[in-house]
């Protein structure tokens, strides 16, 4: 398994990709595959990750200094190659991004249908699009939908 930095179109090699081997995978100990709670892992890399100075958009995401914050009201950007068609897994070949705003889980649950309202616990961060057409792509959100 490799982590690739600097890729934009997964179908076209453009010479800017920097692959780095994954040495270890640490899955969250309370991950629950039935409801996507704690659905993340930390990848240990075999060597130091180097980003290309030629691509200022390629960077390293860092954990927040205070994990007890709710970040409500904060702006964030999600990105990925997930499906842009709801309910299908037809990945985009081009990296897509959307700007979102972190909301309270109460506000988020109130906007969703009743079955989905039970998904919001302390380990879930909800973000809504700043425009009606903005959202994450299916399979980009860390969940199974």
Task: Write out pLDDT tens, residues 65-95.
Answer: 887 888 889 888 888 887 766 666 677 888 8
Is 100 found in the same domain as 138?
yes
Tokens representing residue 50 in the block: 């180097």
- Report the pLDDT value the prediction gives residue 125, as an integer from 0 to 100: 75
| Domain that residue 35 falls in | 1-53
Same domain, 41 and 93: no
Give CA–CA dist 16/7, Å, rounded.
Answer: 7
pLDDT top residue among 67 and 21:
21
Residue 58 within a domain: no
Q: Are 51 and 5 in contact (CB under 8 A)?
A: yes
DSSP SS3 for 73: coil
The CATH number of whichever domain residue 4 belongs to comes to 2.40.10.10
- Is the domain of 139 the same as that of 116? yes
Q: Could you tell me if 38 and 82 lie in one domain?
A: no
State both tokens at 58.
Answer: 């390629």
The reply to whether 84 and 49 lie within a common domain is no
């Amino acid at each position: 398994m490799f982590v690739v930095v600097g890729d934009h179109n997964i179908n076209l090699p453009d010479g800017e990709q920097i692959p780095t081997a994954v040495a270890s995978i640490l899955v969250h100990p309370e991950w629950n595959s039935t409801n996507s709670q704690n659905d993340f892992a930390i990848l240990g890399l075999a060597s130091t990750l180097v980003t290309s100075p030629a691509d200022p958009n390629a960077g390293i995401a860092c954990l927040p200094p205070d994990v007890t914050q709710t970040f409500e009201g904060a702006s964030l950007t999600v990105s990925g190659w997930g499906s842009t068609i709801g309910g299908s897994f037809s990945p985009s070949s081009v990296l897509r991004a959307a700007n979102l705003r972190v909301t309270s889980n109460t506000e988020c649950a109130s906007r969703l249908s009743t079955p989905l309202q039970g998904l919001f616990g302390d380990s879930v961060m909800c973000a809504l699009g700043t425009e009606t057409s903005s959202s994450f792509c299916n399979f980009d959100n860390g969940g199974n939908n």
